[in-house]
Copies of this chain bind each other. A is one copy, B any other.
Amino acid sequence: MKLGGSVITEKKRELSARPRVIDRISGEISSFRDELIIVHGAGSFGHPIVKKYGIGLGHEDFRRVGVSETKLALMELNSLVVGSLKRHEIPAVPFMPSSFMMANEGRLTSIGIEPLRRLLETGYVPVLHGDLIVDSMWGLAVISGDQIAVQLAKDLKARTVIFGCDVDGMFSSDPRSNSDAKLVPNLRFSELRSLIARAGGSAGTDVTGGMRGKLAECTRLADEPITVIIFNLAKRGNLARLLKGEEVSCTCITSG
């Protein structure tokens, strides 16, 4: 499950988390008992600092210190999420993507997944986040929580990937600028590419791509027996209903 950075943070205010929203989400997860991995976006704990220092553009001293600063901010947000889950007695264990993933030109190429797999199998809930990852070509790359969630789902053969966003799902056009925009409730991986061009980006600044980026990541799951659900995590109760198998307004993507 991906928790959108735009839901758990104030995207437009640097380093501004929404602790009450995070706590509400933890509460909605707390009665779920199946295997679960949580990946949260970086939101305003990532993008603004990455932009300020131009991280990924070189290894000058000031950018290097910017990497430090970004990592500290990401740890802070991750601590908030893990701490909130823990208060709801969810055995959350932080996993730091930059410690065990590598990328090339902005795409993940390797994940040392064994420690995570073992903890998942023994009942823990790994909690990851969008991160700065060592990149063979660029030095460091910003890797979105979306990309991480999709890659983990592939590697661990997940049954379901859930994207919690600040919109109800994928729309026929951008619902913010077009009042005729309609939610697309069901679609197939095979239809995805042609629809991507029409999907709107999410509000606020996001160096990792918003809804369009999310859907593009999902095309990589086309050959898997997997269900992708994109739903509105900002609406109270939605997540709890979804985890209980109840109906929620969302976009559901299947290979079917």
Chain A 88-113 interface 0/1 with B at a Cβ cutoff of 8 Å (1 = within): 01111111111111100000001010
Inter-chain contact A93/B67, CB cutoff 8 Å: yes
> Which of B65, B75, B90, B91 is A75 in contact with, Cβ under 8 Å?
B75
Residues of A within 8 A of B (CB): 59, 61, 64-65, 67-69, 71-72, 75-76, 78-79, 82-83, 85-86, 89-102, 110, 112, 114-116, 118-119, 122-124, 133-134, 139
Could you list 30 examples of A-B contacts with CB < 8 Å?
A: A59-B122, A59-B123, A61-B89, A64-B124, A65-B86, A65-B89, A67-B91, A67-B124, A68-B82, A68-B85, A68-B86, A68-B92, A69-B86, A72-B82, A72-B86, A75-B94, A79-B79, A93-B98, A94-B99, A95-B99, A96-B99, A99-B100, A99-B116, A100-B100, A100-B115, A102-B114, A112-B112, A118-B134, A119-B134, A122-B139
